[in-house]
Amino acid sequence: MIDKIQTLTEEIKNLSATLPEQVEELRIKYLSKKGIISALFNDFRALSPEEKRQLGQPLNILKNFATEKINSLRENLSASASDDSAALDLSRTETPLPLGSRHPLSIVKNEICDIFARMGFSIAEGPEIEDDWHVFSSLNFAADHPARDMQDTFFIARNPADVLLRTHTSSVQTRVMEKAQPPVRIICPGRVYRNEAISARAHCFFHQVEGLYIDRNVSFADLKQVLLTFAREMFGPQTQIRLRPSYFPFTEPSAEMDISCNICGGKGCAFCKGTGWVEILGCGMVDPNVLDACGIDSKEYTGYAFGMGIERITNLKYRVKDLRMFSENDVRFLSEFEAAKR
């Protein structure tokens, strides 16, 4: 019997199979109840105790070896079967698809939002199709303000309640103030629309990030510090800011903020028209009329607001000369920015 065990071990070692049915045949041949190894176990029962002691172990080893061999034949076959089906994956593209890249305006919007998020601002969003109240009336626009004119604003329906495309994201600030009581600390990114002829320097839609902070004792100095921090985070620690008096219906006092031109470092170049400064945003202390219109007590609370165009910030960072590039979706243009950021 020991010879038989040895011959069988050799034989099993050299088994091979190319089809699952062949593996099954081998299993039946060696391991089934009527198989060769079971027959050996039957013979074993008739042996003397002495022989049993000698042959028990080799016989069990043979059985385990055969079981492992047949299992491994089966596994190899199923592994190569899945390789075959991968090669036949008809949904695969013939050539690898190039990965897209983020739009430059999204890259810059995210950067602006991140900077303000680190200063405790949360993001608020609102509809692009708005009504007169949220875009103009609640924000202290006079009845005859030119922005209410068809020349400047896209109206969808006029009267009784005007429906229009928002001209700034200050409308989101109104929506938040109507619902929340101070402290309010939000930034509102989004697309806005103005009725302008399309050229290299103007478009009928663009993108803004506006900010609003309302609490007790908020001062103009708070506004200035937040904007200085923003300018330095965005354009580098050497950046200087300057505030010039301005006018917006919804802020009093109002200002426009310039930064030292980051292209010539403030010496004067074509971009800053030789002045060394470029305007990047409007800002001011929220007019008490606006707070009252939105249900916030202007005797108790004060606030500041600011707003900037994302295209302008992107032009300054990446020197894009023609605004129209942002909406043409030329992948050669679009793919330059993510790489530039890395």
Positions touching ligand PHE (CB under 6 A) are: 168, 170, 210, 248, 251, 282-284, 305-307
Based on CB atoms, which residue is closest to ligand PHE, 52 or 242?
Answer: 242
Q: Which residues contact 54 (CB under 8 A, 6 or more apart)?
A: 2
Q: Which residue minimizes CB distance to ligand PHE?
A: 307
Based on CB atoms, which residue is closest to ligand PHE, 230 or 306?
Answer: 306
Q: How far is the CB of 286 from ligand PHE (least distance, A)?
A: 8
Report residue 125 CA to chain centroid gap. 16
CA angle 276, 281, 287 (to 5 degrees): 135
Q: What are phi and psi of 106, to 5 degrees?
A: -70, -40
Based on CB atoms, which residue is closest to ligand PHE, 62 or 231?
Answer: 231
Q: What is the 3-state secondary structure (H, E, C) of 275-337?
A: CCEEEEEEEEEECHHHHHHCCCCCCCCEEEEEEEEHHHHHHHHHCCCCCCHHHHCCHHHHCHH
Based on CB atoms, which residue is closest to ligand PHE, 37 or 115?
Answer: 115
Q: How far is the CB of 99 from ligand PHE (least distance, A)?
A: 35
Q: How far is the CB of 250 from ligand PHE (least distance, A)?
A: 6
Q: How far is the CB of 96 from ligand PHE (least distance, A)?
A: 44
Report residue 27 CA to chain centroid gap. 55
Q: How far is the CB of 324 from ligand PHE (least distance, A)?
A: 21
Based on CB atoms, which residue is closest to ligand PHE, 312 or 317?
Answer: 312
> What does DSSP assign to residue 172?
H
- Give the separation between CA 257 and CA 244, rounded to whole angstroms: 6
